[in-house]
Chain A
Amino acid sequence: MKISKLTIISFVFVLCFLLIAVFAHLIADDSKAPGILPIVKFGPESTDIFSSEILGRPTRSHWFGTDYIGRDVFARLVHAIKNSLFFSIAVVLVCMILGVLIGGIMGFFGGKIDLILSRIVEVIGNFPIFLLQLTLLAFFSQNYWVLLFVMTIAGWIPYARFTRAEFFRLRNQEFVHAAEALGASKFRIFFRHLLPNSLTPILIYTPFDLSSTIVVLGALSFLGFGEPINVASLGELLKQAKDHFQEAWWLAVFPGVTLFLLTLSLTIFGSGLRDYLDPRQAE
């Protein structure tokens, strides 16, 4: 199967975002540490003492303008990419591990365990998740652990569904029976034989999940219930844009386009990955 140009371009974009995230402090930082020469001399929190202008237009020193308390939007955006991307990756990883384990248990043991867990999966799947997340976040103080918990509530379910289906499919295959006949322990069959063979659908789903996690995280921060207050994030910048949309177009356009490009490249990359790994699903 040939990999399309679009997939490669989107992969390059994803890579660029990752690099920006990893090297955020080399791109925009106000620390005077020796040996580090950031491209932009503002950090996400720093204000420019010479021309600290509130809601300043894009200029030569502030490429993307300044926000409502005079912070550099470019620097904030770079760090927002870092914060949003890394936290979303953490959420996706936790959901994945949780979902694969629960789905694996469902598919491996079947019977009553599967029945009970399946009902739980269906019940949670019917919840209006976004409202539940907002409600929970309004009840608890804003910190990353609560946010992680709230975003995992429903996030593990697709992973559990995929893993369960794969385990059911594989459980009666000959290599599993062979392993059993050779006296392999249940633990070994679970982790060495079944799990590695059921990862393809999970791998395919991950880029899409990462993309939608970033969107949901942005939505929560946009409403003011996401990341801790004042942490630079894509949603936080867009919330500022909402409060000042008549005065500062740069607050809306740059973070909005960034978020769009990030999710778009992840989605296109995901579709390319799906077509490559599982040609049957490709239309």
Chain B
Amino acid sequence: MSSYLIKRVGLLILTLFGITFVSFIMLQLAPGSPLEMKLSQDKSGGLGNKSVITEEAREQLKKLYHLDKPILTRYALWLNDIAHLNFGESFTDHRPVIEKIKERIPISLAFGISSIVIALLIGIPLGLISGAKQNSIWDRWITFLVIAEYSLPSYVIGILLLTFFGGGDFFDWFPIYGIQSDSYENLTFFAKIMDRAHHFVLPCICYCIGSLAFITQQQRASFLEALHQDYIRTARAKGLSERWVLLKHAFRNSLIPIITIVGGMIPGILGGGVIIESLFSIPGLGLLSYESLLQRDYPTIMANFTISAFLSLLGIFLSDICYVLIDPRIDFEGR
């Protein structure tokens, strides 16, 4: 167990190193040095007069961005900044980037977690039916549904949902913008919940579809695998009812892999967030990424990338750990 843990932690550190290295290289490669960008930003943001940048100010900025130091020192300083969550100021509104990110995380997390939960609640029973009645007509339809879901990218679903239910030529059923109405503050408590839920439906469908396909497929596979185990034969030989065998013995064991894949879904949700949040104007991390990418707001882009990378890494790491903790049959040394 410990050697496996050490291996995983080693890989985690190595990957973190890789991610920070890539971010650093990208910052260096960015068109125009960070200094030039800052200067041009300040100029355009200024009073419009030809602000002459004094030699002194230039030197000051150089110091601020550590451009007077050799490249390896700069990398070390950049690592130090990251470790202190110091990502600098946004180019657009001059607020510390980390503040902007902090206020966005809960929104993205709410969508991410609730969509995973919904996908689990639908996907597990579907996978169960599909696996229990292998090769039946149910199984075929569910398998086809899974393939179809895989082939429907979230942006296509989102666009179609907006077109059909967003008040165009067809139905005007759901709001198309943000997470709450303009009159949200004046609503009663119950109406507030309804308002949020109303805004929540379309984006959540988009989030769910992809993970739903994945969960259904995994649940089916792991249920089938559990059914072929010796303890199932034993349970049947004991004379237990088929229902009991399926639900108590096969189902419970088939849940193990499902619990652990949830962590691995975090990168997908963070990546998909850019698409879905920008489509529905949800003020989460993904929309922040998208806006900063469009505005070439480099400090925000890099901070977003680094933090998202770190979060998804953490997710993968936790699911790996869960996997070995939950299933005592796994041979740690062999891995």
Residue pair B148, A246 in contact (C-beta under 8 Å): no
Chain B 150-168 residues near chain A, CB threshold 8 A: 150-153, 155-156, 159-160, 162-164, 166-168
Residue pair A138, B151 in contact (C-beta under 8 Å): no
- Complex partner residue of A136 from B11, B26, B162, B290, CB under 8 angstroms: B26
Which residues on B sit within 8 Å (CB–CB) of A231? Answer: none
Q: Which residues of A contact B (CB under 8 A)?
A: 119, 122-124, 126-132, 134-136, 138-140, 211, 215, 218-219, 222-225, 238, 241-242, 245-247, 249, 252-253, 256, 259-260, 263-264, 266-268, 271, 283
Residue pair B278, A252 in contact (C-beta under 8 Å): no
Q: How far is the CA of A129 from the CA of B136 in the complex (A)?
A: 38
Q: Does B193 contact A (CB under 8 A)?
A: no
Residue pair B151, A122 in contact (C-beta under 8 Å): no
In the complex, residue of chain B having the shortest beta-carbon distance to the beta carbon of A218? B153
Do most interface residues of chain A lie in helix, strand or loop, or is the interface mixed? helix
Residue pair A242, B308 in contact (C-beta under 8 Å): no
Residue pair B151, A267 in contact (C-beta under 8 Å): yes
In the complex, residue of chain A having the shortest beta-carbon distance to the beta carbon of B139? A283
- Complex partner residue of A283 from B29, B155, B163, B224, CB under 8 angstroms: B224
Residue pair B31, A131 in contact (C-beta under 8 Å): no
Residue pair B14, A139 in contact (C-beta under 8 Å): no
For the complex with contacts A249-B163, A260-B152, 19 further pairs of A-B residues with Cβ separation under 8 Å are A123-B15, A126-B11, A127-B15, A128-B305, A130-B271, A136-B26, A138-B296, A219-B153, A222-B275, A223-B290, A223-B293, A241-B163, A247-B168, A249-B170, A253-B160, A260-B151, A263-B150, A271-B147, A283-B221
Q: Give 10 CB contacts A-B under 8 Å.
A: A124-B18, A126-B316, A127-B309, A129-B267, A131-B289, A139-B30, A222-B155, A222-B275, A266-B151, A267-B147
Q: How far is the CA of A252 from the CA of B157 in the complex (A)?
A: 10
Q: How far is the CA of A242 from the CA of B15 in the complex (A)?
A: 36
Residue pair B274, A245 in contact (C-beta under 8 Å): no
Q: Does B169 contact A (CB under 8 A)?
A: yes
Q: How far is the CA of A119 from the CA of B10 in the complex (A)?
A: 10
Which residues on A sit within 8 Å (CB–CB) of B15? Answer: 122-123, 126-127
If the complex has contacts A249-B170, A253-B160, A268-B147, are A135 and B274 also in contact, measured as CB distance less than 8 A? no
- Complex partner residue of B293 from A219, A225, A249, A266, CB under 8 angstroms: A225
In angstroms, how far is the closest chain B Cβ from the Cβ of A59?
15
In the complex, residue of chain B having the shortest beta-carbon distance to the beta carbon of A138? B293
Q: Does B313 contact A (CB under 8 A)?
A: yes
If the complex has contacts A128-B270, A241-B163, are A224 and B169 also in contact, measured as CB distance less than 8 A? no
Residue pair A238, B156 in contact (C-beta under 8 Å): yes
Q: How far is the CA of A108 from the CA of B92 in the complex (A)?
A: 52
Residue pair A134, B153 in contact (C-beta under 8 Å): no
Q: How far is the CA of A112 from the CA of B309 in the complex (A)?
A: 28
Residue pair B26, A259 in contact (C-beta under 8 Å): no
Which residues on B sit within 8 Å (CB–CB) of A138? Answer: 293-294, 296, 301
Residue pair A139, B151 in contact (C-beta under 8 Å): no
Residue pair A267, B150 in contact (C-beta under 8 Å): yes
Q: How far is the CA of A219 from the CA of B272 in the complex (A)?
A: 9
Q: Does B304 contact A (CB under 8 A)?
A: yes
Q: How far is the CA of A244 from the CA of B175 in the complex (A)?
A: 15
Residue pair B168, A245 in contact (C-beta under 8 Å): yes
